Structure 1
Amino acid sequence: MSHSTYNRLWTDAQMKLKSLLAQEIPAQRPRPEKDRVVFFQRLAVLYVRYLQIFRQLEEAYDQVVHPQKRRLIREVLDGIMGRVVELKNEMVEKEFSEYHYMDDVLQDLKLTPEDIEIPIPRYFLSERSVVLRDRRKMLSNILNHMEVVEKPRPVGVRALTLEEAVRNIQVAERARQGRLRAQFMRDIQRQRGAGDQDVGAAAVNTAAIHIQKVWKGYMQRKKTKREREEEMIFLGMAMEPGHTQPGPARVSAQTHEARRRAKQEEYETDYQKSLVAITEKLRELEGPNMRETMKDQIRQWFIECRDATGAFPDYPDEEEGGSAVIFTEKTPQQLMEELAAKNEDANKNPKGKEEKKDKGKKDKGTGGEEEEEAGLKMLPSSFLGDLEVGQKTFTEVWQNRLESTNFNQRHETELIKEEKRKEIEVEIRLQVDELMRQELATWKLAVDKDKGAKAKGGAKKKKGTKSGKKKKKDKDLTADRSIESLYQELVEQGLLKPAEHVKLQDYVGDYSYLGTTLRQTDIEPMPSLSDVRQVVALYAVLPLGSQVVHEKAPLVKAILLAGPAGVGKKMLVHAICQETGANLFDLSPMNLAGKYPGKSGLSMMLHLVFKVARLLQPSVVWIGDAEKMFYKKVPKEDKELDPKRLKKDLPKILKSLKGEDRVLVVGTTQDPFNVDLKSLCKVYNKIILIPRPDYASRYIMWRELIKKNGGEVTAALDLSSLAKISDGYTQGHMVKVVKSILTERRVQQLPKRPLSAAEFVAPLAKIDPVFQDEEEALKNWYAKTPLGKKRAKAASGIEADEEPPTKGGKNALKKGK
């Protein structure tokens, strides 16, 4: 697509954002909403509309080549991502659930589930491609040096079991008997053929007819099959074979997109060079004039103040803004009064604080004259101000800008000059302030006749700053070591591992189309895999990928993924690392066994891991079998692992993580029942329950897995029946079954013998599914978590913020009954 296409896409997104900001920042304060359902509906509509803008801006940022436009788009894009995360957090607090169902909103807005899929910005990886490439190279070099790469095992080394040996002998014996029988039958046929040498014309005709019948039947069946396929394509019930591969237009579009990304790098390099050149030129040409103009204006201000007040003024300090305060639209008298008032306020600051406190206490005690109206309100946002600034910049600079002469979309020189003039002016102002302070002091000495005034009018005594108690900094145990050596040690110890090459979109699953309907009938639906994918993208991928989002959005330090074995918890951890280019640290109890023993060893290990994680952020710290850390009583088989080693130190380290540290702790568990739930919830502030896949997700998954492993989905394969009979089986079970069926030999037979659903039944029957009891146990466990309790209270009609009744109240209720 052309430059104008992406410019229109950007403009359209900005217009939508303008209408949203007018709705979110109204002229009058909106009244609180008392109906929780109506309030959530309002949040859901805002969430969906912001997501639409998010998708448009992400595409525009990926393809726009103008360097100055890309900077503004990036600022707005980060703000939109942060606002989406904020709205998600607010929906969780208002609905008391990590999963939300917005099928009614989609229907009202005429959208599809794909329209609310969370897009992963491509700049997360593209702008760090060089760093990631070097890091992968360093990691592979360390692994190769350690000879971690497994060599292929020699064939035939493994000893056979008795059953396998008997089976091999039986196969060989049957093959020998089959060969003997085939030889015997060939001899009989040869003897019969020798007696039937004289064949008549009738026999030849009969043979020809048989051949014709077979051939015509074969051709007719082939023709009928082709006509049926053409009819299905015509009716729109099947796809043309050529569409399975990207067409020429799509290939051309992909090539064009790659060419635009290459132009982005070229134009960015040119832009950086122009910044340096234009700044130096402005400093050289306009700097002296700026300096002299400022000096003249400040001298004029000295004289005006002298005429108005009878004395020269005190020069404003740098903290007050320096000479920038002088050029406000105020008279010298007003400016002097304002500066004097500021000094008085500074002297009376402690008293003012006490008065404010007392006033606050009085207001709280009396309830205030204006009581706030009860109801639900939108939480304050950290991103609406940034979005408003970005919208204003777009309107003032880019919306009506004529770019007919800038066909190639290179940088605008005039915009660079406007921006750099301000920077140079600030730089020169600091230099001028130093000179003019000295000049003012000279003027005062020359004018003041009284020598005693020198002491009064001299330099102001600066108030000594009270030295508060300094916080004790954590001691750096590896201050004398380089980051490369720490990185190498963690790799050699197996604590830092390469992430598997999977993407978040590989975690396939369909949307939940009946979630709202079920909740309206007081039935809590199980989330679909699409919901799980979106939650992981919002809580993990977007904050780790964007520094702005991580610093300003509600901070999530640790996530717990809970679900049965095989639902893809480990895959999601690797997908988070791949989407954001994060390092993967493995602190699972099984992986820590025998490493860094003792209390000092544990301190050193955690110091190494989190120091490298902070310095090479973003980073993911994975804790497999996270429930073992919080066992009430450690089982005998796990005592050697010492799974509770991290229980005391990990919460302390999590407290030390700040908004600027893009480090996320991800725990996975499949058996969280026998744990200290209170301690677990203190560490993991977000608990995501992952269910077994539903029918729609299983249908999609069977199709994708078969295609991925070299199979073909034809009319002979009844995917609907296969998805139905695989109820209770997880993604891991399905992957195992597909790989066992689609061997190399079976893939070669597909043209003659297509796949059928019956082939998958026998391997599935050998695997135990996730029974309903196990899933119910997980749901009951989740209901005991803080968010689960709030959800249960809300479902029973009790507000989650209300305190539970006392024991006496409960007894009174029982007696009343």
Structure 2
Amino acid sequence: VINIITYNKVWTDAQKDLDIQLQREREEFLQPEKDRVKVFRMLVTSYIKYMQIFRNLEMAYDQLIHRQKRTVIRQVLDGVMGRILEVKKEMVGLDNSEFHYIDKILEDLKLLPEVIEVPIPRYFIKEKLEVLEQREKILDQILLDAGLQTQKPLKAMTFEEAIKVIQVAERARQGRCRAAFMKQIYLEERKDRQTKLQVQMGPGPDDAATCIQKVWRGYIQRKKTEKMRDEEMIFLGMSLPPHLMATSILQMHAEQVNTLQGEVQERQEEVFIKDQLREMEGLSIKETLQDQIGQCLTECRHIIGKFPDYPTEEAGGSMAMLSLKTPEQLPTTTYFLPPEADRETNGFCNFFPLSSVFWITAVWQNRDEGWDFLQDHDPELIKEEKREEDTNNVHCLCVFLYSCKNWPWHRPYLLPDSLLSVLCFNTCLAEHLSEVWWQNRRLRKIQLLMSLICRTIDSLYRELAEEGLLIKAKTVNLSDYVGEYSYLGTTLRQADTEPMPSLADVRQLIALYGILPLGSQTVHEKAPLVKALLLAGPTGVGKKMLVHAICTETGANLFNLSASNIAGKYPGKNGVQMMLHMVLKVAKQLQPSVVWIGDTEKIFSKAVPKAEEENNPKQLEKFLPKFLKALKAQDRVLLVGTTNRPFDANLKPFCKVYQKIILIPRPDYASRFVLWKHIILQNGGEITNLLNISCLAKVSDGFTQGHIVQAVQAVLSELRLLQMTRKPLKTAEFMTSLARQDPVYKEEEETFKVTLRAMLTGCISSSPAMSLPRHI
């Protein structure tokens, strides 16, 4: 029996906090506010509160088993994630920066920086784990057959090594036998001595110990019997001991929760209830809705003198007509649109979206669940859900019949116009291609695209993997990107010095713009859409690692369209076009997907070096804008570019492609301190008093994470690890290895700042919605 009281309380508290937060927003942002600092503080406070609610809802959703509760929590969870992205957008527009320094606000709220760390919902992976495992097996097999991946060979053992292993095993066996023989002799001698002492002094300590053991074992067995009786009564539903009420589900193993969630999903009560409800109430629902729609149309004609235009199915159909609107409002074309907040023009509160596209419900508040012992489903809620489905079906039928009012009634078998036009187009296209197929160059392109339409996703997937365009992402979590929060941001700004962003800030942006939208379909469709993301920074700061982390956390496919990777594989303009169509089709069908372009500045380079002319790196320049235009809000596909030389690119087309530009700087002192300790321990080292981590963090100023990793791996060889016990690590060992590498000089960092400022200035001039980050 699993106690769900703890996580029910977590969910309840999160819902209460959410209601309080929404009410506070209605009150605070009701009037225009001209004080920029005050508005920004209100936005940051809302952002922090939503992040706390997000963390609690994710915990409750991951641990609860009741599937209808999980459905409601999922809606609220996705809504909170989307709301966080909405507030983040307003913060960026108000602060003119992707990076915010809120250490003073956290201090006033008495909170730690960990509060604003974005949690990654575990359902991104857990709910499609089987699909991801199966896809990984298929990809491994494709790469193995194509020779792009080899199985790890078993290291053959030499004859001398085999003899040595046998000798070691035999000597160990003989040692164990000798030890057992000597132990037996010792026990026999001890027993003889104890027997002599018992004859002389009576019962000894062993007899007393035996007596105590008997009493203790009897007590333990009685407690076990009582516990088994209590569990049996709980299973039969006849009692619930008080101490079990306080038992936390935190001790329950995660696999047990997943198993129970799976069993709940497999139950078939929903199908039975749906059929029963349709049989009993289906006719009544149809008649009621038809009467309501007829009455609505009649009243509208009586008031305005004509029937209103019937809304299309995409606009909501008859459901839009039956919403809470007056007959005077029905003829307008905006009755089905969501209300927008009135925005003043003289206050900074205009930046805050009062009418969020994410809505939140609370179905389970004050609901009595004492009868539900299994905590798997509520049949009444299923009935309500199926009634709504039947109602929607009737609305769709009404839309179809109303749209057919102008058809010839003697031909009721005709298909709708949209489907009929598709059939006519296919027929005409086939006839036209059969006549002039080889006479027109443009039709050859159509032949190319038609060949893709006829191919299955499996065949396209295999071809992309065999060509090396679909690669296997490395298993890297976002938490593996180690970096500390910047505690001096506000202080430096007060001293008229703009601080550089910290690695924790970069990690937060990757989660907000990359992971959350890709992981949730609802968030991707309704939140501010980000199609392309550029990671710019010196070599070794972890740009590729972040790309693989996005794929790992969301279970996304990874396509590598770097210039060096696609060179010579699909030559010509038609070949590049076909390649992008293949990638787009597979990425959309098997979403989420990440399209990665490494060294993306080469595509937009001002002048191609002679050494790279054969690779033709600029062949994607004209096609990338069209590729992004083909991505819609429902397509969870993200284009990620990485560059360590953005100053080599032509900035105007560069800025048009990448919507978000994130600067990844070299680590600051706090991040270097954490990095040295983490990497040394990760590579098997031990930290003692002879190893001064603070000194290493100080002298490594200007070096990147990659430099630190190389220095640690160079020192901690297999031989050095064997010497660790008698020769502890010293600071000078790492300094020597670090001195052999070239740091990121100040001139290069300044060049990054100037280039990115120019890029973002170009983005502002072409897109007024974007703002210039202050950290550049």
Q: Same fold (TM over 0.5)?
A: yes
One-letter code aligned to 1:375? G
SS at match of 2:559: strand
**Alpha-carbon spacing, 1:328–1:772, altered in 2? closer, same or farther (3 Å):** closer
- Residue type at the aligned position of 1:284: E
Hey, what's the Cα distance between the residues in 2 that align with 1:261 and 1:626?
Answer: 41
Q: Which runs of 5+ in 1 are unaligned?
A: 157-250, 350-369, 437-458, 792-798, 802-817
Aligned ranges 1:190-229 → 2 under 5 Å: none
Q: Give the letter for the 1:30 counterpart.
A: L
Could you say what secondary structure the match of 2:638 adopts? strand
Shift in CA distance, 255/736, structure 1 to aligned 2, threshold 3 Å: farther
Taking a change above 3 Å as real, the CA distance of residues 675 and 520 of structure 1, as seen in their structure-2 partners, is same
Give the match's secondary structure for 2:646.
Answer: coil
- After superposition, what is the alpha-carbon deviation per residue over 1:661-686, rounded to whole angstroms, capped at 9, x for unaligned? 11111111111113211111111111
Which position in structure 1 is the counterpart of 2:128?
128
Query: For 1:608, which of 570, 576, 582 is the aligned residue?
Result: 582
Task: Tell me if structure 2 keeps the 8 A contact 1:625–1:668.
Answer: yes
1:300 and 1:684 map into 2 onto residues whose CA distance is 51
| Distance apart, 1:476 and its partner CA | 4.5
* Counterpart among 706, 711, 715 of residue 741 in structure 1: 715
Query: In the TM superposition, what is the alpha-carbon distance from 1:12 to its structure 2 partner?
Result: 0.8
Do the aligned residues in 2 keep the contact of 1:550 with 1:659 (CA within 8 Å)? yes
* Structure 2 residue 32 is matched with structure 1 residue 66: no
Over residues 555-578 of structure 1, what are the superposed CA-to-partner deviations in whole Å (9 max), with x where a residue is unaligned?
Answer: 111111111100000111111111
Partners of 1:145 and 1:253 lie apart in 2 by 45
Give 1:12's aligned residue.
13
SS in 1 for 2:370: coil
Q: Distance in 1 between matches of 2:61 and 2:736?
A: 50
Q: How many equivalent residue pairs?
A: 626
1:407 equivalent in alignment to 2:373: yes
Aligned residue among 407, 417, 421 for 2:383: 417
Do the aligned partners of 1:316 and 1:325 also contact (CA within 8 Å) in 2? no
> In the alignment, what sits opposite 1:284?
279
SS of 1:605's equivalent?
A: helix
Give, in angstroms, the shift of residue 322 of structure 1: 9.7
For residues 783-815 of structure 1, give each alpha carbon's deviation from its aligned partner in whole angstroms, at most 9, with x where no partner exists: 212259979xxxxxxx989xxxxxxxxxxxxxx
**Percent sequence identity over aligned pairs:** 51
- 2:263 aligns with one of 243, 266, 270: 266
Contact 2:94–2:351 (CA<8 Å) still a contact in 1? Answer: no
CA spacing shift, 1:268–1:600, aligned 2, 3 Å = same
Q: Which string of whole-angstrom CA distances, capped at 9 and with x for unpartnered residues, describes residues 163-194 of structure 1?
A: xxxxxxxxxxxxxxxxxxxxxxxxxxxxxxxx
After superposition, residues 438-587 of structure 1 pair within 5 angstroms as 475-587=449-561
Cα shift readout 1:126-149 (whole Å, capped 9, x = no counterpart): 111122112101100101112223
Structure 1 319/125 Cα, relative in aligned 2: closer, same or farther at 3 Å? closer
Alpha-carbon distance change, 29 to 85 in structure 1, aligned in 2, over 3 angstroms: closer
Shift of residue 315, structure 1, vs aligned partner: 13
For the Cα contact (< 8 Å) 1:102–1:516, is it kept in 2?
yes
Letter in 1 for 2:49: R
Contact 2:357–2:526 (8 Å) recurs in 1: no
Structure 2 equivalent of residue 39 of structure 1: 39
**Matches of 2:293 and 2:75 in 1, distance apart?**
41
Contact 1:96 1:788 survives alignment (8 Å)? no
1:283 Cα deviation from its structure 2 partner? 2.3
The one-character-per-residue Cα deviations of 1:369-424 (angstroms, maximum 9, x if unpaired) are x995512124464973533xx2xx41xx3111122222332211122223323434
SS in 1 for 2:94: helix
Deviation at 1:14, TM superposition (A): 0.7
Deviates more, 1:78-87 or 1:414-423: 414-423
- Check the 8 A contact 1:543/1:549 in 2, yes or no: yes
Moved more, 315-324 or 674-683: 315-324
- Equivalent residues in 2 for 1:313-324, closer than 5 Å: none
TM-score normalised over the length of structure 1: 0.70
Q: Partners in 1 of 2:77 and 2:554 — Cα distance?
A: 16
**1:375 matched to which residue of 2?**
347
Letter of the 2:576 counterpart: L
Name the residue aligned to 1:398. 364
Alignment-derived partner of residue 230 in structure 1 = none
1:285 Cα deviation after fit: 3.3
Letter in 2 for 1:285: M
The one of 356, 362, 369 aligned to 1:384:
356
Q: How far 1:119 moved relative to its partner? A: 0.5
Structure-2 separation of matches of 1:433 and 1:141: 49
- Which secondary structure state, in structure 1, belongs to the residue aligned with residue 591 of structure 2? coil
Residue type at the aligned position of 1:613: A
| Preserved CA contact (<8 Å) 1:79 1:384 | no
Determine the C-alpha separation between the residues in 2 that align with 1:377 and 1:82. Answer: 19
Deviates more, 1:558-567 or 1:403-412: 403-412
8 Å CA contact 1:316, 1:323 repeated in 2: no
Go from structure 1 to structure 2 and tell me whether the alpha carbon gap of 1:787 and 1:522 turns closer, same or farther (over 3 Å shift). Answer: farther
Q: Which moved more, 1:731-740 or 1:565-574?
A: 731-740
**Per-residue displacement from partner, 1:61-106 (whole Å, max 9, x unpaired)?**
1111111111111111111111111111211111111111111111
Q: For residues 291 and 765 of structure 1, do their structure 2 counterparts lie closer, same or farther at Cα, with a shift above 3 Å needed?
A: closer
Unaligned runs of 5+ in 2: 157-247, 335-341, 403-411, 430-444, 766-770
Preserved contact between residue 656 and residue 763 of structure 2 (Cα < 8 Å): no
C-alpha separation in 1, matches of 2:74 and 2:704: 39
Equivalent residues of 1:693, 1:730 under 8 A apart = yes
- Does structure 1 retain, via aligned residues, the 8 Å contact 2:690–2:728? yes
Specify the alignment match of 2:141 in structure 1. 141
- Counterpart-to-counterpart distance in 1, 2:273 and 2:721: 64
Does the 8 Å CA contact 1:383/1:552 hold for their aligned counterparts? no
Q: Which amino acid aligns with 1:593?
A: A
How far did 1:506 drift?
A: 0.3
8 Å Cα contact 1:97/1:787 also seen in 2 = no
- 2:6 counterpart of 1:2: no
Contact 1:783–1:789 under 8 Å retained in 2: no
Query: C-alpha distance in 2, partners of 1:140/1:378?
Result: 52
Aligned residues of 2:29 and 2:349 also touching (Cα < 8 A): no
- Aligned counterpart, 1:656: 630
**Cα distance in 1 between the residues matched to 2:35 and 2:309:** 53
Q: 1:435 & 1:512 partners in 2: Cα distance?
A: 62
Distance 1:415 1:724, change over 3 A: same
Alignment of 1:777 onto 2:751: yes
Q: Work out whether residues 93 and 351 of structure 2, in 8 Å CA contact, stay in contact via their aligned partners in 1.
A: no
Give the Cα–Cα distance (whole angstroms) in 1 for the partners of residues 531 and 632 of structure 2.
Answer: 9
Match of 1:117 in 2: 117
Q: Give the Cα separation in 2 of the matches to 1:16 and 1:501.
A: 35
Letter in 2 for 1:376: F
Deviations 1:623-679 (A, max 9, x none): 111111111112222222211111111111112211111111111111111321111
Distance 1:480 1:375, change over 3 A: same
Is the CA contact (8 Å cut-off) linking 2:311 and 2:320 kept in structure 1?
no
Task: Give the AA of the match of 1:554.
Answer: P
For 1:557 and 1:267, how far apart are their aligned partners in 2?
Answer: 36
Q: Tell me which structure has the larger Cα radius of gyration.
A: 1
Question: Are the aligned partners of 2:4 and 2:249 in contact in 1 as well (CA < 8 Å)?
Answer: no
The residue number in structure 2 matching 1:667 is 641
> Which residue does 2:201 correspond to in 1?
none
